[in-house]
Amino acid sequence: MRKIAIIGAGSIVFCKTLLTDIMATAALEDTEFALMAPSIGKTSQVKSYADKVIEKNGLKSKVTVTTNRREALKDANYVICSFQIGGVSAFELDYKIPLKYGVDQCIGDTLGPGGIFRALRSIPVILDVAKDMEELCPRAILLNYVNPMAMICWALGETNVKFVGLCHGVQTTLDLISGYVGVPKQKIDYISAGINHMGWFIKLESDGQDLYPTLREKFELPEYYANEKVRGEVFRHFGYFMTESTGHLSEYVPWFRKNQKALDLYCDEPSFGGESGAFYTWCNYVANKYKEQDILSAETAELPPRSVEYCAYIIEALETGKTFTFNGNVRNNGMITNLPDECCAEGPVIADRTGLRQTIVGELPPQCAALNLTNINVQRLAVLAAKTGNPETVVQACALDPLTSSVLTLKEIRDMVAEMLEAEKEWLPQFAGKSLRPAPTIPIPDHITRAEVPIDPALAIFSRFGELAQ
């Protein structure tokens, strides 16, 4: 039996999807699943459901539950990570504290203050998982679903663990494009590359015909543009369509959430169109609704078809040699030549019996790479802060964040970070005993005169212009 350890298996609905996807794959039905979470409250529900499916369908699979991560990882062939450190309680702070300062987030799990602090909580844990893997299952492959994907995988890229980060943004965006251009997605040839949640469709063809002219025409029609205002606007100005929705993308750039006028114009759609706190509100609703309820108890034991998630297809390819090509998040290492080698890039990856192989995309269009780099700058500092526990680096990461810097002064950013570090300290042990320098304040009384010091020659020229004007 191959062994798959799922770290963070208390995410009931997602864990159920992964389990049934793998069980529905004929070549993988004889799999041992080791479900690990800090408590067995949710994982025991998943196990009961899985056991029912196994019995009903005559599968050879086996499911165990543990709260011991090392026990789950021992001798695993594959490790799936899907945890959320701090849960909804931490998520609430990620959203509400920045909002108090004027930083309005919709999703808050990838960039912005929310994404940065989620990375600060999660990176030390994923590095502990990687360290345990190096000891207990050194040949295993880690399939990561933990957000913020790019920051998590950047940190993993500095370990010896074989890994790939998985997201469904490419699949769902392809569904959208297919509907816009009127071509079945199975007939669309594409290349998507960039960074997670900001991957660019640099090729969109069907039977050798470029689909971009049709897509551009559709986005000039109000009824299509209205569906995806933010993504449509970036498409119109940058020339390429990207992988994330209005709610996500509006947080990664400085143009759409910086004031009420922009929010009203671009982020007013309901149902995750970009409204404030949409994802936190949804997560809080789900957590409260199912707090005491076993939502899997009423589920049928029939195996559903495989979902759009890549996980089962990748494991099937690695086990059987049946080639599967997908978009994965890996250490760049030259895959995209105008992004840094050490960053986490998202692009085409091939899985087969030989393992995982990333392909060489080459250069992105320069404007696309430039927009990616504005996010990569933040990712770099957030990863460094998570590993070193230096609170000053957190301030610097937030100061370079496109949304935060479009709204706040440097002093306001420092004050916000200080409040978030204090509020979330139970999940941030690497910052224990460390504090931010207070924001420097130099009050200037009305009667003060400038000090008698040498003046920058350039400023002296402007000073002379002022004298002449008088």
| 212 in active site | no
Catalytic residue among 168, 212, 225, 290: 168
148 prior amide bond cis, ω within 30: yes
Q: How far apart are CA 128 and CA 330, in angstroms?
A: 19
CB-CB contact of 349 with 327 (8 Å): yes
**Two structure tokens written together for 158:** 């500095």
Binding-site residues for substrate, in ranges, read: 147
CB-CB contact of 294 with 10 (8 Å): no
**Two structure tokens written together for 392:** 């000053």
| 168 in active site | yes
**Tokens 């050879």, residue located:** 60
Q: How far apart are CA 359 and CA 345, in angstroms?
A: 11
Binding-site residues, in ranges, read: 147, 167, 197
Distance (Å) of CA 413 to CA 319, 374, 395: 49, 18, 7
**Two structure tokens written together for 427:** 């999940």
CB-CB contact of 387 with 365 (8 Å): no
**Tokens 């920045």, residue located:** 98
Buried b or exposed e, range 427-436, using 16+ CB within 10 angstroms: bbebbeeeeb
Catalytic residue among 145, 252, 266, 313: 252
- % helix / strand / coil in the chain, to the nearest 5? 50, 15, 35
| Eight-state DSSP code of residue 201 | E
Which residues lie across from 349 on neighbouring strands?
326, 358
**Two structure tokens written together for 209:** 């015909």
Identify which of 327, 349, 369 has the alpha carbon closest to the alpha carbon of residue 174: 327
Binding-site residues for Mn(2+), in ranges, read: 167, 197
**Tokens 């789900």, residue located:** 286
CB-CB contact of 27 with 316 (8 Å): yes
Sign of the torsion angle spanned by Cα atoms 95, 98, 104, 105? negative
φ and ψ at residue 170, rounded to 5 degrees = -70, -45
Residues carrying an active site annotation: 168, 252
